[in-house]
Structure 1
Amino acid sequence: MRVMILSEQDFIFFYGVASTSFAVSIASLFNASPMSLMPSFKKIKNESATTGFGSIVGFQRNDSLKLEARGLTRITRHPLILPVVPWGVATSYLAGGRTVDFILFGGLALYAIAGCACQDLRIMRKEGSVGTVMSTSEDAGSLLEIFYSRTSFVPFAAIVDGRQSIDILLKEFPIIPFILGIPTGALIQSILLQFLI
């Protein structure tokens, strides 16, 4: 099999796409979302008022925050998994651009799209909830439907059609996790490429 040789400019472009995609996924771990692996916490105004299960030094667990569009979920309701799409395409080229690279990494990109679409389908058909860490009220189902109506599957579609505001997104964007995620993503990508090539 013939390996595709990338120009330096193409290598930098694809490496940047892959690293930035990792950064978005890493930043999404700090952004409340129904599909998020992390529980949500809200700052307690009166620390002595709340103690017990779900309390952590000035913060109280509040998973209803996952059902509000904030930060990255204003871009897409799937901020953890959809970055696999540009990462998969970029890594296909970085790994050598062979047919097997496009099948493997392109397949991962398609798998990410299919998985996110299936989550959306479960909500639209009212087949059940999504998410792995959720402790909410009885009306979580209707809140989830509202969340879905205010957010988009396709990145930036809710901003373009007016359901979300770019100004609010810029205020809520998890910039520190994103910035720290870029070199972390670059390191992970470098290790992966050394393993593959």
Structure 2
Amino acid sequence: MSKGQGFIEGESFAFTSGVYGDRPTFVLTRNRVDDRAEITLYELAPKEIATARQERLDQVHKSTQVTTVELSEAIVDGETPADLDGDNLGHDWADWCAIKIATLRGKRFNEVSYLIQSTLREAGLEPETVCTGAPASLSLPEAAGVRLSIAFRAMKHVQRRDRLRAIADGISQMSLGECYYWHAKARSPTSPNGVKALRTLLADHIE
């Protein structure tokens, strides 16, 4: 990816549309495993972009892996994001993949649900689609996905419920610009402690 493309990817909150125009760039999928609900957030990207991210991580010897799956594996009862609402806007999803950000279950799912609900309602979406009921998927615009992505990354290794709640509450109060800043920090190959720094900012005051 060129330097200019990297700037756009990190600073796209300054524009009215996302990096890839008006196409959905995240998918949120709710499943049940062993009678327990879990929710997974995926970022959608061209396969070449996912490969380039892994190469950058490898260059700086980071152990982080970019985990990708086919779109059909990330979406319940669908093959592409266009299948989620039956509205094909003409986007070509060939050679795209879903990059797994994190799966939350149990108390982590419970504590992130409040943030999911407020974020989706702000985006004009129905949170009940993925927060309750049968397994389902929902495509998200970039702004909503970015806010949830930093929450999923920050919460996935936290055990204490009060810290989980503090992280969700803190992210819910962030401006969109702050969310993009932490989103870039969390996945940057040159910023190894981005997620840890976010956890410290939001929950380190809890003894």
Question: Radius of gyration: which is bigger?
Answer: 1
If the length of structure 2 is used for normalisation, what is the TM-score? 0.27
Larger strand fraction of residues: 2
If the length of structure 1 is used for normalisation, what is the TM-score? 0.28
Which gives a bigger RCO, structure 1 or 2 (Cα 8 Å, sep 6+)? Answer: 1
Larger helix fraction of residues: 1
